[in-house]
Amino acid sequence: MRVLVVEDDRPLAESMTRGLRENGCAVDQAFDGVDAAHLAVTEPYDVVILDLLLPGKSGLDVLREIRAKKCSVPVICVTARDKIQDRVTGLDLGADDYLVKPFQFSELLARLRALQRRSPKMTPVELRVGNLVLDPAARTVTRAGKAIILTAKEFSLLEFLMRRAGTVVSRTAIIENVWDMNYESLTNVVDVLINRLRAKVDKPFGKSLIHTMRGAGYCVREEDG
């Protein structure tokens, strides 16, 4: 999942970013409303975590602007404002959820998972390809009933591929959705990570589910026969 964290309190932004990355998310940051409004409509985020009290442009103005541009990215408003009318205003402007500060990070993760379940491109909750099973909420992977231990980035890549099972996914699409803006395009991290996944997901089981489509990208699918 690729997330944009919009928060002008830098220690809080860094704390959320660190926690999200530890849970396998690719995270970009914006510290003011102007940058947030630009990034939200130009980058392929799965969700925007949006503080409402921002310099340059308020969070509500950011929300109003991105919805006016027909950008449907899910938005979780995060703010110290806890009055009912504040929440109603944010939801009426197009927010998908509302989280009042201070909050437990576990609650933020739970709300992200809830957004995933409601998003058509994110279903089903449990992903299966052949005897490979990935549970996004529990963050577990098994094949033929045997647990597979993955790093956060390996898990994110496998989840991205499995959500598009049977479809060829380009390296560009992988980079845009699994890595953040700090990705260095001249490196071969995608190939390296694919090889690491194959060593854990395919090699021990004697049958490949991760396929290279030469010149096009990668695909997770079960071969016939």
Look at residues 105, 120, 135 and tell me which one is the last residue of a structural domain: 120
Q: What is the mean pLDDT of residues 38-50?
A: 92
Backbone angles phi, psi at 120, to 5 degrees: -55, -35
Q: Which residue has the tokens 């509500």?
A: 60
Q: What is the pLDDT of residues 118-142, one digit of tens each?
A: 765 544 568 899 999 998 878 899 9
Q: Tell me, what CATH number does 107's domain have?
A: 3.40.50.2300
The reply to whether 81 and 113 lie within a common domain is: yes
Look at residues 79, 96, 120 and tell me which one is the last residue of a structural domain: 120
Mean pLDDT of the chain: 88
Higher pLDDT residue, 120 or 18?
A: 18
The reply to whether 96 and 152 lie within a common domain is: no
What pLDDT score was predicted for residue 2?
Answer: 87
What pLDDT score was predicted for residue 185?
Answer: 59
The reply to whether 170 and 109 lie within a common domain is: no
The reply to whether 49 and 114 lie within a common domain is: yes
For the chain, give the percent of residues with pLDDT over 70: 93
pTM: 0.69
Q: Look at residue 225 and tell me if it is in a domain.
A: no
Backbone angles phi, psi at 51, to 5 degrees: -70, 150
86 pLDDT higher than 90: no
Q: Look at residue 52 and tell me if it is in a domain.
A: yes
14 pLDDT higher than 50: yes
CA 24 to chain centre: 8
The reply to whether 69 and 159 lie within a common domain is: no
Q: Tell me, what CATH number does 156's domain have?
A: 1.10.10.10
Strand partners, 217: 213
Q: What is the mean pLDDT of residues 42-59?
A: 92
- Length of the chain, in residues: 225
Cβ atoms of 133 and 127 within 8 Å: the answer is yes
The reply to whether 44 and 114 lie within a common domain is: yes
Cβ atoms of 130 and 1 within 8 Å: the answer is no
The reply to whether 116 and 164 lie within a common domain is: no
The reply to whether 63 and 164 lie within a common domain is: no
Dist CA 124 CA 63 (whole Å): 28
Dist CA 83 CA 167 (whole Å): 45
Angle among Cα 42, 46, 51 to the nearest 5 degrees reads 80
What pLDDT score was predicted for residue 203?
Answer: 95
Strand 217-220 relative to strand 140-143: parallel, antiparallel, unpaired? unpaired
The reply to whether 63 and 44 lie within a common domain is: yes
Residue 140 structure tokens: 């577990």
In angstroms and rounded to an integer, the radius of gyration of the C-alpha atoms of the chain is 19
The reply to whether 115 and 174 lie within a common domain is: no
* pLDDT category of residue 225 using cuts at 50, 70 and 90: very low
Q: Look at residue 62 and tell me if it is in a domain.
A: yes
Look at residues 94, 120, 146 and tell me which one is the last residue of a structural domain: 120
The reply to whether 59 and 138 lie within a common domain is: no
Domain that residue 47 falls in: 2-120
Q: How many domains does the chain have?
A: 2
What pLDDT score was predicted for residue 136?
Answer: 81
The reply to whether 15 and 94 lie within a common domain is: yes
Residue 66 structure tokens: 């991105």
Concatenating the DSSP letter of every residue in 31-88 gives -SHHHHHHHHHHS--SEEEEESS-SSS-HHHHHHHHHHTT----EEEEES---HHHHH
